[in-house]
Structure 1
Amino acid sequence: MADHQRQKIHPVGLEAHPPPTAPLVPPNSSSSEKGTPMQVQHIPPSLQHYAIPKRRSCFCKCMCWTLFLFVLIIIILAATLGILYIVFKPKLPNYSVETLRISDLRLNFDMSLYAKFDVKITANNPNKKIGIYYEKGGKMSVWYTNTRLCEGSIPKFYQGHQNKTVLNVSLNGQVQAGSTLMAALQQQHKTGQVPLVLKVHAPVAIKLGRLKLRKVKVLGECQLVVDSLSSNNLISIKASNCKFRMKL
């Protein structure tokens, strides 16, 4: 038989078989050894995906419970504040400047401006069921434009329900390089209309019944127009506009 004829003959009935796969169980392991069941060494990939949804489910439950508790606390606080508001009906205290006297206003040899004012102010607590503790550290000051002329301390006291308290506060201060400021004040004095600003900064504690709450701050500002800056004389307050607010 020729060589080219031999090359066309192929074996029949011989098919290629895939290589044998490694068994899941080692061959030398026995299912009946010591009465224990046969253990599988390799976990199929399809079974390894069941742990992830379980962890996600626990995380989602924790987030839902946390959000629920947070919303519940907000609702409880809002309901408590609403009940307190209905029961006590809180109102802001208000203040009015009664008199203003300049005890001293002079230019020193070092060209600093010395000022001493005496202010009488009425503090009014309009609340029927709320008392106010005026704590230590309260300040009152008088300003001209953006310059503080003098400052004094507000006394510490307790103000009861629907009470009016008159405070006499002495203010004093010294401003460096006061010659320019003194000239401006004298010019305003000639017109008979001197704009001044009275600022109040008072830490207070609110008393609801027998409960004393945490401290808050009463911040106030009174825009005043006075007719004169004469020393040792009562000054006529021609205009007064006061605004007050509370700050936590």
Structure 2
Amino acid sequence: MADQQKIHPVVDVEAPPPPTAPLVPPGSSTSEKGHPLQQHPPPLQHTFPVIHSTPPKRSRCCKCLCWTISLLSLLLIILGATAGILYLVFKPKLPKYSIDSLRISDLRLNFDMSLYAEFDVKITAYNPNKKIGIYYEQGGMLSVWYTKTKLCEGSLPKFYQGHQNKTVLNVSLTGQAQSGSTLMTALQEQQQTGRIPLDLKVDAPVAIKLGTLKLRKVRILGECLLVVDSLSANNLISIKASNCRFKLKL
């Protein structure tokens, strides 16, 4: 019996591939010709914003802050305008002071080696204002210093100074300073040069009178740098140089 040989079909590798059916996603329908039907997307769901019946807390805080800033700005404008009007009407000027004379009644060492000093100072106070009066209140002080050591101090009198008025004040100063031996030696050495630097400091509480209105208290702070020729007791001292500066402290 002759051998049987199977013949396999030859595949043409150059032939184009057979057409394939289009892929249809699961759940989609097709037409009669096999084409997938076009499906429409689901309708969009519109969301509407929620309208609050009351404004948020942050909005209320911002509104309150804006009102506060506006009120403060308005208040500052009113105060500035008032101050400007008062300045133009009254034209305020600082009072002027001069040290007329300085006399030493006593300057000696105590048994405890402290330095005792007693000075008499004559001051002229001048109010240059035409429409402003000055009340010098209780508690004003005048002190004399050598370098950074206070030698003596005294109280300024309480009085009222009218418009463009000159008032002469006689103030007695007393005091004790520690390390008296060292201070006395330094003063004696300085006296040999004929130029002794002293510092007079003024601290005076005053009240300003505008017309019939008396304002609250302020302070006049002053400093007079003096150069005297001697510190001999019971002698009138010559003031060789004087430089005074004053300012108003609210």
Which residue does 1:102 correspond to in 2? 104
The structural deviation recorded for 1:51 is: 5.3
Tell me, in whole angstroms, the C-alpha distance in 1 between the residues paired with 2:113 and 2:99: 31
Q: Does 1:93 align with 2:95?
A: yes
Specify the SS of the correspondent of 2:192.
Answer: helix
Which AA in structure 1 matches 2:131? Answer: K
Q: Does 1:243 align with 2:245?
A: yes
Aligned residues with identical type, % of pairs: 74
Matches within 5 A, 1:27-38: none
Tell me, in whole angstroms, the C-alpha distance in 2 between the residues paired with 1:114 and 1:148: 11
Give the greater-gyration-radius structure (CA): 2
Name the Cα RMSD after superposition.
1.8
Specify the SS of the correspondent of 1:191.
Answer: coil
Tell me, in whole angstroms, the C-alpha distance in 1 between the residues paired with 2:135 and 2:76: 29
Tell me, in whole angstroms, the C-alpha distance in 2 between the residues paired with 1:169 and 1:81: 35
**TM-score, length-scaled by structure 2:** 0.78
Which residue does 2:199 correspond to in 1? 197
Residue among 151, 159, 179 paired with 1:149: 151
Tell me, in whole angstroms, the C-alpha distance in 1 between the residues paired with 2:48 and 2:151: 82
Unpaired runs of at least 5, structure 1 = 1-11, 14-43
Which residue does 1:232 correspond to in 2? 234
The structural deviation recorded for 1:94 is: 1.2
> What are the Cα deviations for residues 206-248 of structure 1, in whole angstroms up to 9, with x where unaligned?
0000000000000000000000011111100000000000101
Matches within 5 A, 1:75-86: 75-86=77-88
Unpaired runs of at least 5, structure 2 = 1-25, 28-46
Between the two proteins, the alignment pairs up a number of residues equal to 206
The structural deviation recorded for 1:110 is: 1.7
Specify the SS of the correspondent of 1:63.
Answer: helix
Which AA in structure 1 matches 2:203? Answer: H
Specify the SS of the correspondent of 1:181.
Answer: helix
Tell me, in whole angstroms, the C-alpha distance in 1 between the residues paired with 2:52 and 2:58: 11
Tell me, in whole angstroms, the C-alpha distance in 2 between the residues paired with 1:114 and 1:235: 18
The structural deviation recorded for 1:70 is: 1.0
Which residue does 1:114 correspond to in 2? 116
**TM-score, length-scaled by structure 1:** 0.79
The structural deviation recorded for 1:53 is: 4.8
Which AA in structure 1 matches 2:92? Answer: P
Which AA in structure 2 matches 1:134? Answer: Y
Tell me, in whole angstroms, the C-alpha distance in 2 between the residues paired with 1:188 and 1:131: 42
Specify the SS of the correspondent of 1:75.
Answer: helix
